Chains A and B, each alone.
Chain A
Amino acid sequence: MSIFPFSAIVGQEELKRALILTAIDPLIGGVLAFGDRGAGKSTAIRALAALLPQVETIRDCPYRRDPADVENLCADCRALQKKGDLPTRKEPAPVVDLPLGATEDRVIGALDLESALVRGEKRFEPGLLARAHRGYLYIDEVNLLDDHLVDVLLDVAASGENVVEREGLSVRHPARFVLVGSGNPEEGELRPQLLDRFGLSVDVRTPTDLAERIEVVRRRDAFERDPDEFLSRWKRKDAATRRKIEKARATLDEVETSDDALRLASSLCIALGADGLRGELTMMRAARALAAFDGKETVEKAQLSVVAPSALRHRLRKDPLDDADAGVRVERAIEEVFGP
């Protein structure tokens, strides 16, 4: 099945930017895309895989561990590494779908049925959390996800580690991934704890601009008529974006954050009464990634004001008497704090 190319997606700039920023710095911690049905939320997320730089992994490691992450290596690998011949390879970063209706055993991993049945062996079959390690875990309709799966996710997303104690198995493995969720707020809100796990939150609206709408429909039509031709037409643009992401990743550590920018970020959070430190941290990280992507050497006001709505809109305290949309509240505060 062919996937609609990222570069061919019309509009949705905030969502596309949020996804790119997490590809540059996964520590930003996930993207929540909430909004209108049929506006292309899941299309954008599924297209992301083509943009991700490859990851270096230890060959034959079932959990695709990172050779550079010395602390988390198993004993065998560490011994090999000391000798200096740990086999590694590059592979595509995973984008894993967590579908509605998934059972707990497939999410956290469980006994391998095949080997238990045929050979009578107890073997651990890694689940989706293991598969998403160092990549993305995508949940469409995240607000409909079963409560006990949400509990599992909350724990793993916070600790970066999956601990399995069931069916006589005892396994722990790293599971650090960028959590991406999408959904329609009319079908229910998210638990505040889960909301907090998403670094950035994007409000997706159906475009109303005439030309933009026509372009969306035209491209979808072209894609459905002849997917292969359409893909080859957009492949180069996707590749260019991927190179730009790779470059931004390489320069990310060199981007400076001025004291000025830090001060602005804190005053913005204070002005908004945004909960906790997480908003501030995410905003700084996202602004840094954006600066790297744009080829800038320091984080400026410009980057902060671009990423602030995504970083803060889901961290404002709900005020039932304020009718304004959260994004609008953030933009108002940016104007007040940052000045013209």
Chain B
Amino acid sequence: MTGLSVYGDKTPGEPAAPSFARGADLWDDAVLAAQLLSIDPFGLRGACLRAFPGPPRDQWFALFRAGAKLAPVVKLPLGADDARIIGGLDLAATLRAGKPVMQRGLLAEANGGVLLVSMAERLRPSVSGLIASAVDLGAVVVERDGFSTRMPARFCTILYDEGADAGEAAPQALLDRVAFHLNLDGVSLADMAHGFNEPSVNAHWDWRDVVCSDEIAEAINAASLRLGVRSLSALHFAVRAAIAHAALYGRASVSDEDAAIACRLVIGPRMAPAIELTQETAPPERSQQSDADTDNDDAAQQKQDDISLEDVLVAAAQAGAIALMQRSGGMMRRRDRAAGGGGRSGAVVASRDKGRPVGSRKDAPRAGRIDIAATLRAAAPWQGVRRKGDQNRYVVLDTEDVQIKRYQARAESLVIFCVDASGSSAIRRMGEAKGAVERLLADCYSRRDYVALIAFGGERADLILPPTRSLVRARRALIALPGGGGTPLAAGVAASTALADLEARKGKTPIVVVLSDGRGNIAFDGGTDRDAAENDAQTAARKLRALGVQTLFFDTSTRPSPRARAIAESMGADYRPLPFAASETISKAVRSAVEQS
């Protein structure tokens, strides 16, 4: 195993877990991923690029395109409706031809090429579900507008993820289906020096000619399990990436180095942010030196060779864990900047009284807003018959054709719990909040409400539970709750404001529920100056009020405190002293607030 470097400049013996890799390393990894992807685009299935638009993203895509030589490149715009994505009746052509003409959808159009999804972090679950099933089947099943067919749709998916913070990311259903999760955030122009590697001999074998031995597959598997990456598709992609890398260098079987690079590119970015460097995930050098005394449970029964390969792979994967999600410090700054700029969509108000359009259905003309396109589509079949009497009319409509737009009856609401996890009573407060979250979720399937939880304590606020409707997921997220330390109330309120803003723009109706005694003592900059902390908390509270979302403030001090009341007033919250905040009281209050909203 000697001579294998994970990153060129890493000193031997140093644990390999940089939480922020350098820009040039990020770039080189991304380029290598593009090269592997162009060797096996349909096996590796695609990549997610986390970056704002700019030269790195453009150049990465240009490199990939030139290498993969796939055509066409089909862009999936965010606003595309089901009819455009899957395909359906082509209205104009149908009227012209006098018989049903089908229009291919974007997924089928991308067959043999690339499906490019920009702003993937904003995709609705129903759309990501459509893409996911096309990826799984290699085909799109059309059951729409009288057509029943199956069209080939094998493509390589490139997701552009412009998520600005941890809560905003491309849908997990799609992330799980592409091999590479790349991060170009922080790549500068100077970093973008390298293009594709040019291996000198035998370059570019067909990946089908390359085999991966069971030993290496087992080591990749063991390494990824040790790092908490359980997904089978991750394992599959890592093996395929190793095969592609071997093919790139003209090797007939996967070498240890191919495997290490595959782990760095595929397994590393899939690690949960919190995996720590424990004894078990020791760096390779240590176990190499002490071959004799390695008594790791799961490694013990394996051959000595494998132990070292597995350790190398673990280290390689850790080097690739480029903190894709872990941005809790940077989160607030980024969002504040975004909110200050002029780019607000203004959907906050509109979303509240209209809800999300969910297609149209046949109904009486006065039953709502008429969906013109759908109405014409419904009328199309009859034109031949109806026009017989009157050739001068282009389109003959009947009341039977009228289609009415439907909106989701009530915008989905999102209850954001903002919970004080600091100080001595943190555990009790978090316990109550957890109980309230579970109670709300347990009765929410009929009402389709989402719940999120932000905890603040120590020096920062963390999004512990991203918006979810799933009780299962909530339980998993809330098992290990932080606690203790100072009270960064300002950061907590600001994080809730940012999340509320973000979700309101997606069409949800947020409600913020604060559980705190109002005694913030950590300022935005992490300082402990009491006045600054108080000031910042007030500022954050006013920003929350400016957003205009409904807010509840449960004062958890032993007796109602003026400071808590003042903060609650600044945020325009409904203030409730609740020294013995019980989960049931909280969930009842929240439920009635949701019903009013």
Contact call B382/A220, Cβ cutoff below 8 A = no
B173 within 8 A of A: yes
Question: Which of these binds chain B: A99-107, A234-242, A259-267, A332-340?
Answer: A99-107
* Contact residues in A for B384 (Cβ distance below 8 Å): 117-118, 120
* Contact residues in B for A110 (Cβ distance below 8 Å): 146
Q: Which residues of chain B from 415 to 445 have a CB within 8 Å of any chain A CB?
A: 435, 438-439, 441-442, 445
Contact call A185/B129, Cβ cutoff below 8 A = no
Question: Which of these binds chain A: B2-10, B229-237, B484-492, B531-539?
Answer: B229-237
Q: How far is the CA of A144 from the CA of B380 in the complex (A)?
A: 30
Q: How far is the CA of A128 from the CA of B149 in the complex (A)?
A: 12
Contact call B94/A117, Cβ cutoff below 8 A = yes
Q: Quick one: closest A residue to B214, CB to CB?
A: A214
Contact call A146/B146, Cβ cutoff below 8 A = no
Question: Which of these binds chain B: A83-91, A188-196, A303-311?
Answer: A188-196
* Contact residues in A for B400 (Cβ distance below 8 Å): 167-168
Total B residues in contact with A, Cβ cutoff 8 Å? 77
B274 within 8 A of A: no
Main secondary structure of the interface of B (DSSP, over half): helix
Total A residues in contact with B, Cβ cutoff 8 Å? 65
Q: Quick one: closest A residue to B236, CB to CB?
A: A217
* Contact residues in A for B136 (Cβ distance below 8 Å): 42, 140
Question: Using a Cβ cutoff of 8 Å, how many contacts connect chains A and B?
Answer: 178
Q: A166-B362, A320-B438 are in contact. Are A105 and B145 (CB under 8 A)?
A: yes
A82 within 8 A of B: no
Contact with A along B299-310 (1 / 0, CB 8 A): 000000000000
Contact residue among A148, A189, A218, A221 (Cβ-Cβ distance under 8 Å from B471)? A189
* A192 shortest CB reach to chain B, Å: 7
Contact call B82/A113, Cβ cutoff below 8 A = no
Contact call B381/A116, Cβ cutoff below 8 A = yes
Question: Which of these binds chain B: A16-24, A49-57, A202-210, A275-283?
Answer: A202-210
Q: Quick one: closest A residue to B140, CB to CB?
A: A99
Q: Quick one: closest B residue to A187, CB to CB?
A: B125
Contact call A117/B99, Cβ cutoff below 8 A = yes
Contact call A38/B233, Cβ cutoff below 8 A = yes
* Contact residues in A for B445 (Cβ distance below 8 Å): 188-192
A93 within 8 A of B: no
Contact call A113/B125, Cβ cutoff below 8 A = no
Contact call A112/B146, Cβ cutoff below 8 A = yes
Q: How far is the CA of A214 from the CA of B219 in the complex (A)?
A: 10
Q: A118-B98, A166-B362 are in contact. Are A206 and B82 (CB under 8 A)?
A: no
A114 within 8 A of B: yes
* Contact residues in B for A167 (Cβ distance below 8 Å): 400
Q: Quick one: closest A residue to B440, CB to CB?
A: A320
* A15 shortest CB reach to chain B, Å: 14
Q: Which residues of chain A from 104 to 143 have a CB within 8 Å of any chain B CB?
A: 104-107, 110-114, 116-118, 120, 125, 127-128, 140-141
Q: A103-B143, A141-B132 are in contact. Are A186 and B472 (CB under 8 A)?
A: yes
Q: Quick one: closest A residue to B434, CB to CB?
A: A320
* Contact residues in A for B137 (Cβ distance below 8 Å): 1
Contact with A along B125-154 (1 / 0, CB 8 A): 110011011001111111111111000100
Contact residues of A with B, CB < 8 Å? Answer: 1, 36-40, 42, 97-107, 110-114, 116-118, 120, 125, 127-128, 140-141, 144, 146-148, 166-168, 184-192, 206-208, 210, 213-214, 216-218, 220-221, 224-225, 318, 320-321, 323
Apart from A103-B145, A141-B129, A208-B230, list 20 A-B contacts with CB within 8 A.
A38-B177, A38-B232, A99-B86, A101-B144, A105-B144, A106-B148, A107-B143, A117-B98, A118-B384, A185-B470, A186-B172, A187-B173, A191-B445, A206-B231, A210-B221, A217-B236, A217-B239, A318-B471, A320-B438, A323-B475
- Sample 19 A-B pairs with CB under 8 A, ordered by A number: A37-B233, A38-B176, A38-B177, A97-B141, A99-B86, A102-B143, A110-B146, A117-B381, A141-B129, A144-B125, A188-B448, A191-B446, A206-B232, A213-B221, A214-B221, A217-B232, A218-B214, A221-B239, A321-B438
Contact residues of B with A, CB < 8 Å? Answer: 43, 82, 85-86, 88-89, 94, 98-100, 125-126, 129-130, 132-133, 136-148, 152, 172-173, 176-177, 208, 212, 214, 217-218, 221-222, 225, 230-233, 235-236, 239-240, 298, 358-359, 361-362, 380-385, 400, 435, 438-439, 441-442, 445-446, 448, 468-473, 475
